[in-house]
Structures are given as structure tokens and as C-alpha cells.
Copies of this chain bind each other. A is one copy, B any other.
Amino acid sequence: MPGGRRQRVSVVTLAVADVARAREFYRAWGWIPHSDGGDVVFFQGNGLVIGLYESAAFAADQGRPGATLGFGGVALAQNYPTEVQVDERYRAALAAGATILKPPARAEWGGYSGYFADLDGHVWELAVNPFWDLAEDGSITMPDDAVGA
């Protein structure tokens, strides 16, 4: 297909009230910024880039200056091989200033999952999903026989 895989996410950009404050939260959570300077901070992820962008500038860049951007309707998940790693990364997020939404617990679908909100209200899920193949870098490949698991 032209342009390669149609089901793709190259960049996830998060609207934030204060780029420096948001950068410090993610740095405190263990992330390493790729570039500083300007009004966007980028992090190199597992084949995608995660960006932090000041909300008003981001709304303008989206073609709707003055718009109020909402939060919570998108959740970004980080999957880990073990519940211990989920717990450790969850505690690290709280130590960095995150807000508890749902502490990590066994989920009825057979995995292990917790949610927190970052300083701006962006929702992160930390999870173990025993039904999906997880690479060392956090990438996921669903088995062909997955049935919504």
C-alpha cells in the first residue's frame, strides 16, 4: 500500500500547560529528552516520538486557536513483562507527582493494570497483558488468534 502501513502512529503529542514542568515530570519518571529548546520537547520512544507542546500553541497548530483542549479521552499504555515492573513504574510515576486514578490490580480480562494521570491530566495505563507479545522496547505484536484479549 502506498506510504506503507496505514495503521500507524508516528508521533503522540501531549498538550501541556507548562512545557518545563511537564518535561521535569517525565524526566523524574526516568525519561530522557531527545531535544530541548523551542516550545516542544521530544522523547524517542519505541519507533514513535512523544512530544510535549504548550496547549495554546498546540491548539493554534491544530488550526483552532483559542480552543480548550480536553483530556482523558485518550489513554497511553505502557506494557511490561511482570506485575513487579508495573508496580515499580507506577510508584515511580507517583513519586514524580502523578495522580492515582486506579492502582495496579488484577483485571477481569486476565491481565494486570493500573491508571494514573500526569500533571496535565493525560492518562497513562501501566499493564501486563499475558496474551500479547511484548518486545524489550515496549512494542507489541498481537497474535493472529487474539480475540479481543
A46 touches B8 (CB 8 A): yes
Number of A interface residues in the complex (CB < 8 A): 84
Give how many copies assemble into the complex: 2
CA A82 to CA B4, docked complex, whole Å: 12
Query: Which residues of the partner chain B approach A2 to less than 8 Å between Cβ atoms?
Result: 85, 88
A135 touches B45 (CB 8 A): no
B62 touches A123 (CB 8 A): yes
Task: Please give the distance in Å from A103's CB to the nearest CB on chain B.
Answer: 8
Chain A residues near B (Cβ < 8 Å): 1-15, 29-32, 34-38, 40-50, 55, 58-59, 61-64, 67-82, 85, 88-89, 101-102, 115, 120-123, 125, 127, 132, 134-142, 146-149
